[in-house]
Amino acid sequence: MDKRIRDLLVRAEEEMIFIGPDHPSYELLAGLVASVRDAWQEGYEQGRNGGAGTNPYR
């Protein structure tokens, strides 16, 4: 799963380069990429610091 998330983030960042900052959807895509990256990092750090291994939202 970690690799899949990273691959999706890389693909989205590449798409941002392709469409350019003047595209109407660029700001939305940039916000989504940043949000997913931050949420993934927060979960990763929580698990690394001894948090529960299971997802409580399932």
| pLDDT tens by residue, the chain, 58 residues | 578 878 887 888 888 888 888 988 888 888 888 888 888 788 778 777 877 766 666 6
Rounded Cα gap, residues 5 and 11, in angstroms:
10
What pLDDT is recorded for position 40?
A: 78
33 occurs within a structural domain: yes
What pLDDT is recorded for position 58?
A: 60
Domain count, the chain: 1
What pLDDT is recorded for position 53?
A: 65
- DSSP for residue 20: -
39 occurs within a structural domain: yes
52 occurs within a structural domain: no
Cβ within 8 Å of residue 2, ≥6 positions away? 44
28 occurs within a structural domain: yes
Q: Which domain holds residue 7?
A: 3-47
56 occurs within a structural domain: no
